[in-house]
Amino acid sequence: MSLHNQRQPTKDLKPKRTTMNANPVYLTVRDVSKNFGNFTALADVSFEARRGEFLSILGPSGCGKTTLLRVVAGLEKQTRGKVFIENRDVSALPVSKRNVGIVFQSYALFPNLTARENIAYGLRSQGKSRQDIRQQVDGLLDLVGLRGMGRKHPAKLSGGQQQRVALARAIAVSPDLLLLDEPLSALDAKVRIKLRSEIRQLQQRLGITTIMVTHDQEEALTMADRILVIDRGRLVQDGSPNQVYDRPATPFVANFIGAMNFIEGAEKIDSGVYGIGKTRFAVTGENGTSRLPAGSRVTIAIRPEDVMLRHDPTAINLLETRVAGMEYRGSLFRIDLSWPATLDKAATITADVPAETVRRLDIVPEKPLSVYLPVDRLRVYSVTDG
Ligand SMILES: Nc1ncnc2c1ncn2[C@@H]1O[C@H](COP(=O)(O)OP(=O)(O)OP(=O)(O)O)[C@@H](O)[C@H]1O
C-alpha cells in the first residue's frame, strides 16, 4: 500500500466549479496520431472543444502535450487523423490559415520592439490605419493591465509583464482559438497565481475558445472547464475538473492529480464488495470493475481528505489504526495510519485531518484511531488499468 503524492497538493485543490457548456462545437480532433520516426508521441487522440470553452491539456513532461497543441495549431502535421474547425477539415492547412493566437512558455517577444510594437505586429499586416492600430493597442494594453508601459522594451519588463504582452499580441488579431503552451511556467509562484485568474477572466470576457498546455495540476483544476489528461501519448481522461479529481479514470490520473492512497493486493469478493485479508470494503464508486468476476485482483483507492476519523458505531468500512507519523501542513496534518491489512503485513493509509480536529482529539503518534472509508469515496481499479 502506498500514498503517491507527487506535488503535495492541499485540500484547496479540490475543484468546486463545474461548467455545462451548451455552445456549438468549435474544434474537433479525431483519431490523431503523431510519430517521430519509430516513436509514437500521440496515439489516436480524439476530443472536441465547444465555442468559448477553456480546455487544459495536462500530463507529465514528454507525454505529448505540446505535440498535440502544435497539431491543433497547424505547426505540426499529424501522421494520422484529422482536425476540424466548425466541421471544416483543416488538417492540411498551415497555422496562418487557422485563425489561432498562440502564447508560448518563453515569451517569444521581439526584443528590439517595444511592448506596443510587439502587440501591433500582427495588426499591421491586416492593413489597418495607424490611428486604428494605436487605439486598439491602447485597449489591449488596458485589457492586460499594462497601461502606460507600452513604450518599454521586453528587457525592461518583468516576466509576468512580458507574458501579458505576449497574450495581448496573441489576442490582437481576434483569433477564434487561443492556444497557450505552458504560458505561466517560467514565472514565479505569486505572479503565476495572479496571472492565471487574470487569463481566465479575460478568456471568459472575450468568450474565446482556449486550449492551454500545462503539467501543473493546480493550474488545470483552477482554470479549465475541461481537462484532457495525457499519459504517454494517449488521452486517458476527458472531463471537468470535478470529474477528473473525484472519479479519476485510471490510477495514473488518480496519482497525477492530487494525492491518493492505493490499497494494493485486494480482490473482488462480490458485487460492490472488495476485500483484503479479513477487511471488507463496500464500494459504490466502482470503475468498470462491476463486470469483473469474484476473485479478480484490484487496487482500491481513496483520497487522504476522504479518510474520516469519527464514525457512528453502525458505519461500515471501518479500520482500526494506529498513528504512525504526522506531518504538519499549516491548516491540516497529513497523518500516516498503520493498520493490519493481512495477518502478516501491516499497511499504511494516509489521512488529511484539519489541525483543529487534531488538537481537539489530541491526536499524537502511537494513538489508536478508528477511521472509516465512505462507500462513495472509494474507487476501485482492475490491476490491468494503466
Ligand atoms: N521534433 C521532434 N522529433 C523527435 N521527437 C520529438 C519531437 N518533438 C517531440 N518529440 C518527442 O515527443 C514526445 C512528446 O513531446 P512533447 O513536447 O509533446 O511533450 P510534452 O508533454 O509537451 O513535454 P514537456 O512538458 O516536457 O514539454 C517527447 O518524448 C519528445 O522527445
Looking at the domain assignment, is residue 120 inside a domain?
yes
The domain spanning residue 233 has which CATH number?
3.40.50.300
**Minimum-distance ligand 1 atom for the alpha carbon of 213:** 22
- Looking at the structure, do residues 305 and 228 belong to the same domain, yes or no? no
Question: How confident is the model over 225-250, as pLDDT tens digits?
Answer: 999 999 999 999 999 999 999 999 99
**Minimum-distance ligand 1 atom for the alpha carbon of 42:** 14
Q: How confident is the model at residue 356 (pLDDT cuts 50, 70, 90)?
A: very high
CA distance 116 to 124: 12
Q: Whose CA is nearest to atom 25 of ligand 1?
A: 61
Taking the whole predicted model, whether its pTM rises above 0.90 is answered as no
Q: Which residues contact 141 (CB under 8 A, 6 or more apart)?
A: 115, 116, 119, 147, 148, 149, 150, 168
Q: What angle do CA 94, 209, 165 make, to 5 degrees?
A: 80
CA distance 91 to 76: 10
CA distance 326 to 336: 6
Question: What is the Å distance from ligand 1's center to 272 Cα?
Answer: 41
Looking at the domain assignment, is residue 84 inside a domain?
yes
Looking at the domain assignment, is residue 262 inside a domain?
yes
Looking at the domain assignment, is residue 73 inside a domain?
yes
Q: Which of 248-257, 267-276, 286-295 has the lowest mean pLDDT?
A: 286-295
Pocket test for ligand 1, best of 35, 42, 45, 66 (most atoms within 8 A of CB): 66
Looking at the domain assignment, is residue 3 inside a domain?
no
- Looking at the structure, do residues 219 and 146 belong to the same domain, yes or no? yes
Strands (E), 240-294: 260-270, 273-276, 279-282
- Looking at the structure, do residues 44 and 170 belong to the same domain, yes or no? yes
Phi, psi angle pair for 263, to nearest 5°: -100, 100
Mean pLDDT of the chain: 89
Handedness of CA 238, 19, 224, 35 (dihedral sign): positive
Looking at the domain assignment, is residue 1 inside a domain?
no
Mean pLDDT of 209-231: 95
- How many domains, the chain? 2
Within a 10 A sphere around the Cβ of 99, how many other Cβ atoms? Answer: 14
The domain of 368 spans 255-382
CA distance 184 to 193: 9
State residue 26's pLDDT score. 95
Q: What amino acid occupies position 230? A: I
Q: In the chain, which ranges are continuous DSSP H helix? A: 65-73, 115-124, 130-143, 159-172, 189-206, 217-223, 241-246, 251-256, 355-360
The domain spanning residue 326 has which CATH number?
2.40.50.100
State residue 115's pLDDT score. 94
CA distance 269 to 193: 46
Mean pLDDT of 202-231: 94
Residue 139: alpha-carbon gap to chain centroid: 32
- Looking at the structure, do residues 131 and 230 belong to the same domain, yes or no? yes
- Looking at the structure, do residues 235 and 317 belong to the same domain, yes or no? no
Mean pLDDT of 296-317: 86
pLDDT of 5 above 60: no
Q: Whose CA is nearest to atom 7 of ligand 1?
A: 36
Mean pLDDT of 307-336: 88
Residue where a domain stops, chosen among 248, 267, 300: 248
Output the nine-digit C-alpha cell for 323: 498513528
- Looking at the structure, do residues 230 and 362 belong to the same domain, yes or no? no
State residue 20's pLDDT score. 43
Phi, psi angle pair for 232, to nearest 5°: 45, 55
- Looking at the structure, do residues 208 and 261 belong to the same domain, yes or no? no
- Looking at the structure, do residues 75 and 165 belong to the same domain, yes or no? yes
pLDDT of 380 above 90: yes
DSSP single-letter state for residue 156: G
Q: Is the ipTM beyond the 0.85 threshold?
A: yes
Question: What is the Å distance from ligand 1's center to 15 Cα?
Answer: 29
> What is the CB-side half-sphere exposure of residue 220 using CA atoms within 13 A?
34
Residue with cell 522594451: 153
Residue bearing the bigger pLDDT, 314 or 279: 279
Radius of gyration of the chain (CA): 24
Handedness of CA 264, 268, 273, 279 (dihedral sign): negative
Output the nine-digit C-alpha cell for 187: 514565472
Within a 10 A sphere around the Cβ of 182, how many other Cβ atoms? Answer: 19
Pocket test for ligand 1, best of 65, 69, 79 (most atoms within 8 A of CB): 65
Mean pLDDT of 323-341: 94
Q: How confident is the model at residue 211 (pLDDT cuts 50, 70, 90)?
A: very high
Pocket test for ligand 1, best of 40, 61, 63 (most atoms within 8 A of CB): 63
